[in-house]
Structure 1
Amino acid sequence: MDLSLLRTFITVHRAGSFTRAAALLGLSQPAVTSQIRALERQLGRPLFLRGARGVTPTTTGDELAHRAAPHLDALIELAEAELDERSGIRTLHLAGPPEFTSVRALPALAPLIARGLTLRSSFFTGAEETLEGLAAGHHDMSITTARPRGGLLTAVPLCDEEHVLIAAPRWAGRLEPTGLRHKGPEVLDGLPVVEVHESLPLVSRYWATVFDGRPSAAAGTVVAPDLRAVLECAAAGAGLAVLPRYLCAGALERGEVVALLDPPMPPLRTYFLAVRTGTLALPHIARAHEWLLRAATDW
């Protein structure tokens, strides 16, 4: 069996679509489709069921992936390690939002340091600036909240970020246990707000998604242009805030802050992992790319 066909199959199985697999492999979608069809002809059985939103593995496809993936991963890792040894390019320039890149991405890539990778990072609060820098070649890979358009850049969804409405326990204690759920956001009127910008982007998005409205003018608003600072201020009692769950999970567990509401449909924001099209052929970029996608399955 051709190992290149098997690698394409495993990538499609993990990605759930030919389009996403093509981006991961640095191939065109027709090339991925052709390779999967060739493998299906060799096996004499279909491996995927095609649908409007991607592909679903058949029983045969699931069995093959379960048996082959660990061995293929080991072979690819050995091959890429050898390529890395021959290559003088081992520095990865990663750009992304300061908080997510610091808390999620950089620690996830840390094990690659022992394998010879050197990391350089740049922080950007705006998706447009991040993608412009990637397109200009200032960095090799970007984490962004906007999917790039056009053929110059290729992006795949990395993970979804859930937003939580939080406050210090003393603010939560002023609310009736079921007041916010039954009476709506009016019970929060007058409470100070901690945000990353004067326009209250996270709070406004939460209000629009959960309450189908806009927040009232906040009293004593604190503006801190870093989500980690927002968390510290909220925990200190400066006011309510809306934060990604990954960032405030520890504070919630320790009781430093309290979730004021648990809506059935919390606001979500998708992060994308973007590279310049074709650069996944470089071993150090391909390895970091796949490493982040694997890590993101637990985020």
Structure 2
Amino acid sequence: MPGLDLLSTFLEIYRCGSLSAAAERLGLTQPAVSGQLARLEQELGDPLFVRSRKGATPTARAADLAARIGTHLDELRAALDTSGEGVAHVGTVRIAGAGELMAMRVLPALAPLTTRGLRLHVTLGLAADLLEALSAGRVDLVVSAVRPTQQEIAATTLTDEEFVLVGPPTLARSIDPVRLAADPLGALSHLPLVAYADDLPIVRRYWLSEFGRRPPNGVAVTVPDLRAVLAAVVAGAGVSALPRYLAEPALAAGSVELLHEPAAPPLNTLYLAVRAGALVHPPLALVHDHLRTRAHLWGAL
């Protein structure tokens, strides 16, 4: 089993994004850090970083290892800290994301950390706006449904969300099952849509993935909150594509029904986005690692 010194060095490289920055934080020479990383990679049998002039890019193995050990190492350091300050848990982290995901998954996962001194300032909104806020330094971490393209932002995969097409029982009964099997686009074309935004981001993605074209359906309701989208569907306003984690309680209660069963469920990857190099700050690193650890328990959303 790798020693704590090797794992601590690995975690600093992962959070700093380069061996030189990690060496500076650890008070070691860069060759010493490089040697410890080489020993750890040899023990694990896998490369952990791809080195370039821009720094050290973590491999999938590195991201998984950081998610598993990060919080535990921080807590161990706090327990051994004779000053008793527990710096990893003290401070404010400005976190941002879509309202429904923050309410149903992210905040419940982070709530236990607040009992140990961590403070959270939450901003809700659309991914594009929140990533701009991250670039500008107005927030520290974004749970994003789109992969950031900004060079100054580092993104780590969090988990996948699965989309399902649902509608109220009354509209589900209006679909001809024979035509649905032969011509799903036509069989569903009479159904009004409930959309998250004017460009139908989730609905359009579902139709393109499953039926090969944009939906020809009319839009009955547009509301920028997926919980409100679900409420409108339950009330009979129309049908919509929603993340399974959000629709599951209504499906179990029978207030909505699955309208289409794809061969493979459409998925969308969620990312944790931070400014490059920002994970050197202990409270932010704690939140980042804690969410990645909890996401392993969520599975696909």
Measured against the shorter chain, the TM-score band is: 0.7 to 0.9
Q: What does the per-residue CA deviation read over 1:54-110, in whole Å, with 9 as the maximum and x for residues that have no partner?
A: 5679xxxxxxx8xxx78x964531314657535895111101112212221111101
CA–CA distance in 2 between the matches of 1:277 and 1:51? 15
Q: Quick check: 261-270 or 79-88, which moved more?
A: 79-88
CA–CA separation in structure 2 for the residues paired with 1:298 and 1:46: 23
In structure 2, what is the equivalent of residue 198 of structure 1?
Answer: 198
> Quick one: distance in 1 between partners of 2:277 and 2:49?
27
Q: Do the aligned residues in 1 keep the contact of 2:78 with 2:87 (CA within 8 Å)?
A: no
The Cα of 1:205 is off from its aligned counterpart by 1.4
Report the CA distance shift for 1:199/1:147 in structure 2 as closer, same or farther (over 3 A). closer
Partner of 2:55: none
Other-structure match for 1:257:
256
- Aligned amino acid, residue 45 of structure 2: L
Q: Go from structure 1 to structure 2 and tell me whether the alpha carbon gap of 1:6 and 1:244 turns closer, same or farther (over 3 Å shift).
A: same
Q: Aligned pair 1:162/2:162, yes or no?
A: yes
Q: Percent of counterpart pairs with the same letter? A: 38
Q: Quick check: 1:48–1:55 contact (8 Å CA) kept in 2?
A: no
Cα distance in structure 2, aligned partners of 1:140 and 1:26: 15
Q: Is the 8 A contact 1:209 1:267 kept in 2?
A: yes
Equivalent in the alignment of 2:100: 99
Structure-2 residue corresponding to 1:26: 16
Task: Write the mapping of 1:275-290 to structure 2, written as runs, cut at 5 A.
Answer: 275-290=274-289
Check conservation: 1:8, 1:25, Cα contact below 8 A. no
Aligned pair in 2 of structure 1 residues 84, 159: CA closer, same or farther (>3 Å)? Answer: farther
Q: What CA distance in whole angstroms lies between the structure 1 residues aligned with 2:150 and 2:35?
A: 23
Counterpart mapping for 1:126-145 below 5 A: 127-145=127-145
Counterpart in 1 of 2:171?
A: 171
Q: Specify the code of the residue in structure 1 equivalent to 2:37.
A: I
Question: Is 1:77 matched up with 2:67?
Answer: no
Aligned to 1:123: 124
Q: Secondary structure of 2:86's partner?
A: helix
Name the amino acid aligned to 1:37.
A
| Structure 1 residue 234, shift from structure 2 partner | 0.4
Structure 2 letter corresponding to 1:235 = V
- How many correspondences in the alignment? 272
Contact 1:152–1:277 (CA under 8 A) maintained in structure 2: yes
Q: For each residue in 1:161-193, what CA deviation from the matched residue of structure 2 results, as whole angstroms up to 9, or x when unmatched?
A: 111100011111222345423322201122111
Amino acid at match of 1:25: R
Q: Which moved more, 1:31-40 or 1:283-292?
A: 31-40
Residues 193, 29 of structure 1: CA spacing in aligned structure 2 closer, same or farther, 3 A cutoff?
Answer: farther
Counterpart of 2:226 in structure 1 is 227
Question: In the superposition, relative to structure 1, how do residues 40 and 242 fare at CA in structure 2: closer, same or farther (>3 Å)?
Answer: closer
SS of the aligned residue for 1:205 comes to helix
Whether the 8 Å CA contact 2:78–2:88 is kept in 1: the answer is: no
For residues 197-243 of structure 1, the C-alpha deviation after alignment (integer angstroms, 9 at most, x for no partner) is: 2332222211110011221141x611122110000110111111111
For normalisation by structure 2, the TM-score amounts to 0.78
Q: Which runs of 5+ in 2 are unaligned?
A: 23-32, 51-57
Q: Tell me, what secondary structure is at the counterpart of 1:48?
A: coil
- Map of 1:213 onto structure 2: 213
